């Protein structure tokens, strides 16, 4: 193996570090117009009147559209994630009749430059009749709450639940029951590049071309074609460089439909670039669940059963996958443990807020937080070491594939190995000793563990709303250069490099002879996209399979010419070597034969081009243990992370540099949920965290150097044994941090503290202690 497993620096980077790459806002088409959106200033209101006359008078304005026009001409915002029996409100691209959250698009203008477009949008007069708003999901589903969608009787979007085994019996037989309410606060994904799209109708075929900063070019193409009524084979989506997504661009948004419609209407290219305030108000949010959790155990710490009641805040309406994200919480709630009985009850609540949807981890961070916190609560109550209660309940490696009470089958794992490695790396015994010393001095230091498991490589199509497979095409050009087309749509993960590593190794050629393309529906066979830590495990496998087919064909050609047999041909150092005949030919010579086609084995077609669609048989389930150490400043209450150790197992690793990068970034995002971030609406539904001055992202000086290590348990689900790593850090880290803080404060009798654990929350606890 020449490249796979090596820390190869990225092919993507020269263009990115030099500023020569092209993001969507970098596109400038001749005659391009700009659009700006007038948005609701109310969380819940009837639209009495819209006066666009002043906007029209502004020089440079070429179109003004409102919901009335759009509703008749464009389909609604698509919803792919459905739960049986759920209420289905229809959401138009622009509001019709009423608005249900602050920031909802009400009208759009098109003008010759973006400053004029913004001026014109501000000149649109919208008269509202405000209605009572509801922002608390538990209040929203109570009888008597203002009803957001008046065609329905209440704000209960759906209910969902299941029970595995008899939890009542388990709780009756328990020695100990621990119970806690955990809140997974609402978060904003905040990719550094906001959303944006450009649409144009291209001569001569009147092809509708949309450049969008998206994670799902093909799904977007299908949805936009249907939405604006252009045949799909004359609709093309191109993703230029995408500046991060974290799930927020795994969607089909009103503005993408609007630019397509406006390009068709004006006959000119139309650009829309989201502002950061729009991004915080009108790009999907994540999390926002209230989890009431009970755990039943024996005295020795053996788990007997769990009950979780979840209220999920949907927001005002569904985006693409909104409804099914909290379902994933139920699938993963038993975590890395034997939980023989489990009852899960979920209610989705409509509120006057932006829709929630997939944000890095999507349902699994919530699950991991609730199980990893409640297990720590149990350890605290039973006076057990948090490491030992975890160890006691891990299924053993021999038990895999392991069917959980969450209803999924874990593919492969060795949880204890990762735990032990993390404890060793962190010097857990030494940390506990230091903690005892610090406590003796009246100082607050805590050690938090999180032994997470997660659901990756999404996924089998039966479990997915719009196909869980991925496409991979490999074409060997007559000169021996290899073009790889992937249906995955990387946006920072680095698959142009990692996929090249896979292909170069298999063919025995140089990595620079492989070029990976993605994100253009006219060039790339239909695919699903990048999300759910799926690109390598599903998309990479499709490419791997296509490569195997082409290798078989090339081996056939080489065997024919070298008078060997195909199974004896080895691909190495740019050659196809017939070991038995002690002969070889260059890779390029074999490729040339496939195209000249004068001396092919009987019955073989010319050419070297193969597309495969990989349908995984199951998800993959990466896991690991994170150890977080915090020290608390007694004066300010500030929790400072002094050490962070993460041992992750994502199966085989193609490029450790990229895998570690994903884990670094993931951990910091998860830490940020624990300590800093929270989307806040006031009771009237006004967004209080509407700019980056108010929404606290982590900064460079907030963390120490993270110490990473790995264990390797290959997945049996795909031939490369890879699992996926995009979300692991985010999923594993949040509970480790909160567990550490609770551990630090446990001498004060603290058993739980809600996120984000800002200094003032801790300061109040410490102050209360001093006062008493």
Partner 1 sequence: MLPVSLQTSFPKGMLMTQRVRITINGKLFESDVEPRLLLTDFIRGVAGLTGTHVGCETSICGACTILANGLAVKSCTMFAVQADGSDLVTIEGMAKDGQLHPLQQSFWEEHGLQCGYCTTGMIMCAHQLLARNATPTEAEIRDGLTGNLCRCTGYQNIVKAVQSASGKMRQTQNVAAGD
Q: Which residues bind partner 1 (CB under 8 A)?
A: 9-10, 12-14, 16-23, 25-26, 28, 115, 190-194, 241-244, 246, 275-277, 491-494, 657-658, 660-661, 664-669, 691-693, 697-701, 703, 705-706, 729
CB of 452 to partner 1, least distance (A): 17
Residues 226, 466 contacting (CB under 8 angstroms): no
Task: Please report how close the Cβ of residue 187 comes to partner 1 at its closest, in angstroms.
Answer: 12
CA 567 to chain centre: 41
The 3-state secondary structure of 349-396 reads EECCCCCECCCCCCCHHHHHHHHHHHHHHHHHHHCCCHHHHHHHHCCC
Take residue 558 and report the two structure tokens written for it: 């080489």
Report in angstroms the alpha-carbon separations of 148 from 77, 181, 353, 616, 739.
17, 27, 11, 40, 37
Instruction: Dig out the tokens for 386 from the structure.
Output: 């948090």
Smallest gap from Cβ 245 to partner 1, in A, equals 8
CB nearer to partner 1: give 477 or 707: 707
Contact call for residues 121 and 59 (beta carbons, < 8 A): no
Contact in structure between 343 and 167 (CB atoms under 8 Å): yes
Tokens 């229809």 belong to residue: 90
Nearer to partner 1, 119 or 154 (CB): 119
3-state secondary structure of 739: helix
Q: Is the peptide bond before 756 cis (omega within 30 degrees of 0)?
A: yes
Query: In the bound complex, what is the minimum distance in angstroms from residue 247's beta carbon to partner 1?
Result: 12
Q: With contact defined as beta carbons under 8 Å apart, do 739 and 448 qualify?
A: yes
Please report the DSSP string for 15-55 in residue order.
HHHTT-S-BGGG---TT-EEEEEEE-SSSSEEEEEEE-HHH
Q: Which residue, 245 or 305, has its beta carbon nearer to partner 1?
A: 245
Number of Cβ atoms within 10 Å of the Cβ of 15: 12
Minimum distance, C-beta of residue 730 to partner 1, in the bound complex (Å): 10
Cβ-based nearer residue to partner 1, 191 or 412: 191
Looking at the Cβ atoms of 19 and 442, the one nearer to partner 1 is 19
Q: Which is nearer to partner 1, 354 or 658 (CB)?
A: 658
Q: Which of 198/370 has CB closer to partner 1? A: 198
CB of 164 to partner 1, least distance (A): 36
Q: What is the signed CA dihedral for 386, 390, 391, 393, rounded to 10 degrees? A: 140
CA angle 457, 461, 467 (to 5 degrees): 95
Q: How far is the CB of 38 from partner 1 (least distance, A)?
A: 18
CB of 718 or CB of 730, closer to partner 1: 730
Question: Which residue, 183 or 703, has its beta carbon nearer to partner 1?
Answer: 703
CB of 59 to partner 1, least distance (A): 9
Instruction: Name the residue among 279, 278, 221 with its Cα closest to residue 245.
Output: 279
Please say which residue, 120 or 133, places its beta carbon nearer to partner 1. 120
Closer to partner 1 by CB, 194 or 711: give it.
194
Quote the least distance from Cβ 700 to partner 1, whole Å: 4
- Report the run of H or E that residue 559 belongs to, with start and end: helix 541-562
Least distance to partner 1 from the beta carbon of 697, Å? 5
Output the furthest CA–CA distance in the chain (Å, rounded).
93
Least distance in angstroms from the C-beta of 627 to partner 1: 17
Residue at token pair 């300590």: 675
Q: Min. distance of Cβ 765 from partner 1 in angstroms?
A: 28
Q: In terms of CB distance, is 440 or 705 closer to partner 1?
A: 705
Q: For residue 772, give both structure tokens.
A: 């008493």
The C-alpha atoms of residue 769 and residue 772 are separated, in whole angstroms, by 5
Q: For every residue of 245-296, which 3-state class applies, written as one string? A: CCCCCCCCCHHHHHHHHHHHHHCCCEEEECCHHHHHHHCCEEEEEEEEEEEE
Cα dihedral across residues 517, 522, 525, 531: positive or negative: positive
CB 262 → partner 1: shortest distance, Å?
Answer: 20
Q: How far is CA 65 from CA 42, 54, 96, 377, in A?
A: 20, 13, 12, 55
Between residues 20 and 599, which has the closer beta carbon with respect to partner 1? Answer: 20
């Amino acid at each position: 193996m020449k490249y796979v497993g090596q820390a190869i620096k990225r092919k993507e980077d020269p263009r990115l570090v030099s500023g020569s790459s092209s993001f969507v806002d970098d596109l400038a088409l001749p005659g391009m117009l700009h659009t700006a959106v007038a948005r609701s200033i109310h969380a819940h209101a009837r639209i009495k009147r819209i006066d666009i006359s002043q906007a029209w008078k502004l020089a440079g304005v070429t179109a003004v559209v409102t919901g009335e026009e759009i509703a008749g001409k464009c389909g609604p915002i698509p919803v792919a994630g459905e739960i049986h029996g759920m209420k289905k409100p229809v959401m138009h691209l622009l509001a019709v009749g009423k608005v249900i959250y602050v920031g909802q698009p009400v009208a759009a203008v098109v003008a010759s430059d973006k400053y004029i477009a913004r001026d014109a949008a501000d000149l649109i007069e919208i008269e509202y009749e405000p209605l009572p708003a509801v922002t608390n999901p538990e209040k929203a589903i109570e009888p008597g709450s203002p009803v957001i969608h008046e065609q329905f009787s209440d704000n209960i979007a759906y209910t969902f639940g299941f029970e595995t085994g008899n939890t009542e019996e388990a709780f009756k037989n328990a020695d100990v029951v621990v119970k806690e309410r955990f809140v997974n606060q609402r978060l904003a994904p905040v990719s550094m590049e906001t959303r944006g799209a450009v649409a144009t109708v291209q001569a001569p075929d009147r092809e509708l071309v949309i450049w969008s900063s998206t994670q799902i070019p093909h799904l977007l193409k299908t949805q936009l074609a249907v939405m604006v009524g252009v045949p799909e084979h004359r609709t093309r989506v191109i993703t230029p460089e995408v500046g991060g997504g974290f799930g927020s661009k795994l969607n089909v948004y009103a503005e993408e439909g609007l630019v397509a419609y406006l390009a068709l209407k004006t006959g000119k290219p139309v650009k829309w670039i989201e502002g950061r305030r729009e991004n915080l108000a009108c790009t999907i949010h994540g999390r926002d669940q209230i989890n009431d959790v009970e755990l039943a155990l024996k005295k020795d710490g053996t788990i007997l059963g769990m009950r979780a009641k979840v209220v999920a805040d949907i927001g005002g309406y569904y985006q693409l996958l909104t409804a099914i994200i909290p379902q994933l919480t139920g699938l993963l709630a038993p975590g890395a443990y034997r939980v023989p009985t489990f009852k899960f009850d979920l209610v989705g609540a409509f509120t006057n807020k932006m829709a929630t949807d997939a944000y890095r981890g999507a349902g699994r961070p919530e699950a991991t937080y609730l199980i990893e916190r409640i297990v720590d609560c149990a350890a605290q109550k039973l006076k057990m070491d948090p490491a030992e209660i975890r160890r006691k309940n891990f299924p053993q490696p021999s038990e895999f594939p392991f069917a959980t009470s969450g209803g999924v089958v874990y593919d492969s794992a060795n949880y204890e190995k990762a735990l032990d490695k993390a404890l060793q790396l962190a010097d857990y015994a030494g940390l506990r000793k230091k903690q005892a010393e610090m406590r003796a001095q009246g100082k607050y230091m805590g050690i938090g563990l999180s032994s997470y498991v997660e659901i990756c490589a999404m996924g089998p199509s039966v479990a997915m709303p719009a196909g869980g497979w991925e496409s991979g095409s490999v074409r060997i050009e007559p000169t021996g250069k290899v073009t790889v087309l992937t249906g995955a749509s990387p946006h920072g993960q680095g698959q142009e490099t990692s996929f090249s590593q896979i292909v170069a190794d298999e063919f025995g050629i140089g990595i620079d002879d492989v070029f990976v393309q993605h994100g253009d529906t006219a060039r790339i066979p239909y695919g699903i996209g990048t999300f759910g830590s799926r690109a390598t495990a599903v998309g990479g496998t499709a490419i791997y399979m296509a490569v195997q087919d082409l290798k078989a064909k090339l081996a056939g050609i080489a065997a024919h010419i070298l008078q060997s047999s195909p199974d004896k041909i080895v691909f190495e150092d740019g050659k196809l070597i017939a070991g038995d005949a002690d002969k070889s030919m260059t890779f390029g010579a074999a490729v040339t034969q496939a195209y000249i086609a004068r001396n092919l084995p009987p019955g073989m077609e010319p050419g070297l081009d193969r597309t495969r669609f990989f349908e995984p048989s199951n998800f993959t389930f990466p896991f690991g243990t994170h150890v977080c150490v915090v020290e608390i400043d007694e004066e300010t209450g500030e929790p400072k992370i002094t050490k962070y150790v993460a041992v992750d197992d994502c199966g085989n690793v193609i490029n450790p540099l990229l895998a570690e990068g994903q884990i670094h970034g993931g951990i910091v995002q998860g830490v940020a949920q624990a300590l800093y971030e929270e989307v806040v609406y006031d009771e009237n539904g006004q967004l209080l965290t509407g700019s980056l001055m108010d929404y606290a992202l982590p900064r460079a000086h907030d963390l120490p150097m993270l110490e990473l290590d790995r264990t390797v348990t290959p997945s049996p689900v795909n031939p490369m044994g890879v699992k996926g790593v995009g979300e692991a850090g985010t999923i594993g880290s949040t509970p480790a941090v909160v567990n550490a803080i609770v551990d630090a404060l446990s001498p004060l009798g603290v058993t739980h503290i809600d996120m984000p654990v800002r200094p003032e929350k801790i300061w109040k606890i410490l102050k209360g202690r001093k006062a008493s």
